[in-house]
Structure 1
Amino acid sequence: MSEHEPDVHGHCDARFTAVRQAFEENFRDRDELGAAVTVTVGGEPVVDLWGGWADAARTRPWERDTLVNVWSTTKGPTALCAHILADRGLLDLDAPVAAYWPEFAAAGKEKVLVRHLLSHRAGLSGLREPHSREELYDWELTTARLAATEPWWEPGTRSGYHAFTYGHLVGEVVRRVSGLLPGAFLEREVTGPLGIDFTIGLPREKSGRAAELVHRRTVDSGEQAAIFSQLTPAAIAALANPLMGAADANSPEWRAAELPAVNGHGTARAVAALYGIFAGRGTYDGRRILSPEAVERVREGQGSCRDLVLGAGFDHETEIGLGLWLSGPHGSYGPDPRAFGHDGFGGSCGLADPDQGVSLGYVMNRMGPHIADDPRKTALVDAVYRSL
């Protein structure tokens, strides 16, 4: 196995040879370290590939069952938890959040709706007071501070990416309704019964299967200051309070925490399966998880705009549905503007296209600088749609 052209394992239907080629090019031309990609069509896997290294020292090959933290690709499964509750009539997406979480009504938030949490329109992209790593790991403290704080903008009017707070906001509503945190709810209702290899957080007994996340390069303090000088206070609160990176995500403390926005761990196969529930209009492996109507709700656009947190990084408007991003005219999730999905910081991605019956999971451990639309992910998505 050479450094830049590692062995690629798994299977790929002949029709999808372009996906295998793009996957191999990611190693050769785009500085991939270790990665996996799975594509399903009509619920059947047509691509299931993995290769490279699970650690920076290149001593552990990436295996079929290697797990990796997927950062915000976790938000799709967390949204799924809320939509399951809504589908059962236990959660009203048009109800005030305070109907389920009374303390949340503080500081002028009594009219914030559950749909505003799902669509990053609650105005709570981050906390106003300094919030440390250790405090982020404290569920009760973080949710109490979110309940007490005031929004950065008028809720419901614009989206502003809730990078970390999304998981605590949506997750606390899930907990108030179901009695379970999202990780336990997802395991009980979805991943356990369906045998999907994905967890929020990482159980200690699985740590030996986990890939090491590696930043492509370190940003020095001068570059960091220049980046932050272009951001609004709401964006700094979202992305840097606290500021987290690969070293944090490799730590036992991160893995032990409940961070439903960012610390899902799984294989590409698992990501494709979870997003495949949406792609299958609510069914997976012959079992119904959501109604078709619920899947349509997931991709119900909430209004296109320049996102108040990520706007500086995009040269176009974006639109979020009820928990996931729409492909839109920019084609982040393929040519159908109503396909949808979620990217994770550094490169990972989950994609669902119910109209084509396509799902994709892409996971990796060499973290690029992108919050969304990493070139490696884009190459794979483009190859999928060229093959259909």
Structure 2
Amino acid sequence: MTDVHGTVEPGFESVREVFAGIAANEARDGGAQLAVHHHGRLVVDLWGGDGVDGDSLLGLYSSSKGAMALVVALLVQDGVLDLDREVASWWPEFAAEGKEKITLRQVLSHRAGVIGADGGLTPEEIADDRLIAARLAGQRPFWEPDTAHGYHGTVIGALVGEVVLRATGRTAQELYEERVRAPYALDYYLGLPEELEPRFRTALPLLPTPAQQAFLAENPIAPDSFLAIAFNLHADPPFDDVGYANSRAVRAQAPLSGGGIGSARGLSRMYAAIAGELDGRPPLLVPGTLAEFARIHSKGTDVVTGSESAFGLGFVPLATRYPSLSTTAIGHSGAPGSQAFADPATGLAYSYARRRFGFLAGPGAPENDRLVQSVVEAAAKTA
């Protein structure tokens, strides 16, 4: 990547070098941001590429699942939510079609089997968690709950959000604003205010190489597959991943599965509030809560994606993806290739954000491997 801007603290110069060396086909012409906190200090604040600066707000897609999980963890910590209570005890309509025994823990660990809706969700529904929840209340599970795990990619936020609303009378978005975003002045939003729209940079589609185009042509997604159902590709029209963040309805209503908008700086700061003390405040999660949400609840072949995956509760236990992290490291990736996490064992909080989609970016674009390693090594040397 050329024309890298921003700052790094002494000891983190190598991270700047790695960020600057990212190949053009990784961050592409859409631009990227990298922010890292260490023991509550912003030690890396970098950006580069066309159309993006440090204050740009980007569609960070499933990164919002991390914010959702944080809200739930706080409510569990407060004794408001019980992980092993049945979802239907809060939301009676959800008991239909054999779902009466599904627990909140099973939903958070992607074991409920409620990965989508028969016939698909409309664009209006996909932008509104309450509409999704209304559809899913009467939906049959696609496998026997708790017998397998599979990524509930576009609907987990609606399921969890409905439980939060029924239990507290407040939306998860409202609780995030009041308990997390506003107190810490985070530049990461579940519901982007209209006045901040000028800072939003539209998501940009993948520009596949001929080899990538050939791969996509040779590996079509069957419309009746779990993958198609989970990503709403069986709908008419099918889910438009790039158009999702580019929709004002999505940005304003912030469906919890992927509607968060922000900067790498803002999301790293959210995780810094988990990783340790921030602004003189203790960590948001006490050790027992953190350990329970970081503990691996699902691991092995994901029946939706067909790949190996691991899930904690809402969060992803990221030592399974980046071996240099500790077993308490929790976070979540986003569809364009973004990645963000907290590692309380080392006091690190990390967020990499990109504007253009990467090829099969999945659980974080591949450049995160180099970036995370360089961050961990630099932090160890400055400890």
> 1:243 pairs with 239, 243, 265, which one?
239
CA distance in structure 1 between the aligned counterparts of 2:147 and 2:278, rounded to whole angstroms: 35
Q: Which residue of 2 aligns with 1:48?
A: 45
- By how many angstroms is 1:141 displaced? 2.5
Q: Which residue of 1 aligns with 2:281?
A: 287
Matched, 1:233 2:229: no
Amino acid at match of 2:354: M
Q: For residue 22 of structure 2, give the secondary structure of its aligned residue in structure 1.
A: helix
- By how many angstroms is 1:100 displaced? 1.2
- Identify if the C-alpha distance between structure 1 residues 166 and 22 changes in structure 2 by more than 3 Å, giving closer, same or farther: same
Superposed, 1:144-155 pairs within 5 Å as 144-155=134-145
Q: Which residue of 2 aligns with 1:186?
A: 176
Mapped contact 2:86–2:100 kept (Cα < 8 A): yes
- By how many angstroms is 1:186 displaced? 0.5
- By how many angstroms is 1:233 displaced? 2.3
Q: For residue 43 of structure 2, give the secondary structure of its aligned residue in structure 1.
A: strand
- By how many angstroms is 1:189 displaced? 1.1
- By how many angstroms is 1:164 displaced? 0.9
> 2:15 pairs with 16, 19, 39, which one?
19
- Identify if the C-alpha distance between structure 1 residues 210 and 45 changes in structure 2 by more than 3 Å, giving closer, same or farther: same
Amino acid at match of 1:84: L
Mapped contact 1:304–1:319 kept (Cα < 8 A): yes
Q: Which residue of 2 aligns with 1:204?
A: 194
Matched, 1:347 2:357: no
CA distance in structure 1 between the aligned counterparts of 2:240 and 2:257, rounded to whole angstroms: 13
Q: For residue 351 of structure 1, give the secondary structure of its aligned residue in structure 2.
A: strand
Q: Which residue of 2 aligns with 1:95?
A: 85
Mapped contact 2:45–2:54 kept (Cα < 8 A): no
Q: Which residue of 1 aligns with 2:96?
A: 106
**Alpha carbon RMSD of aligned pairs, Å?**
2.2
CA distance in structure 2 between the aligned counterparts of 1:149 and 1:169, rounded to whole angstroms: 12
Superposed, 1:1-388 pairs within 5 Å as 5-6=2-3, 8-26=4-22, 28=24, 30-32=26-28, 33-54=30-51, 62-217=52-207, 223=216, 226-229=219-222, 233-239=225-231, 240=233, 241=235, 242-280=238-276, 283-288=277-282, 289-311=284-306, 314=307, 317-329=308-320, 331-332=321-322, 334-369=324-359, 370-387=361-378, 388=380
- By how many angstroms is 1:237 displaced? 0.6
Amino acid at match of 1:287: R
- Identify if the C-alpha distance between structure 1 residues 31 and 45 changes in structure 2 by more than 3 Å, giving closer, same or farther: closer
CA distance in structure 2 between the aligned counterparts of 1:128 and 1:189, rounded to whole angstroms: 36
CA distance in structure 2 between the aligned counterparts of 1:267 and 1:178, rounded to whole angstroms: 29
- By how many angstroms is 1:338 displaced? 4.2
Mapped contact 2:128–2:250 kept (Cα < 8 A): no
CA distance in structure 2 between the aligned counterparts of 1:323 and 1:154, rounded to whole angstroms: 20
Q: Per-residue CA shift, 1:361-388, capped at 9, x if unaligned?
A: 1111011121213112222112112322
Q: Per-residue CA shift, 1:23-80, capped at 9, x if unaligned?
A: 11225463433111111111122111122223xxxxxxx2221111100011100111
Amino acid at match of 1:23: F
User: TM-score under structure 2 normalisation?
Assistant: 0.90
Q: Report how many residues are paired.
A: 369
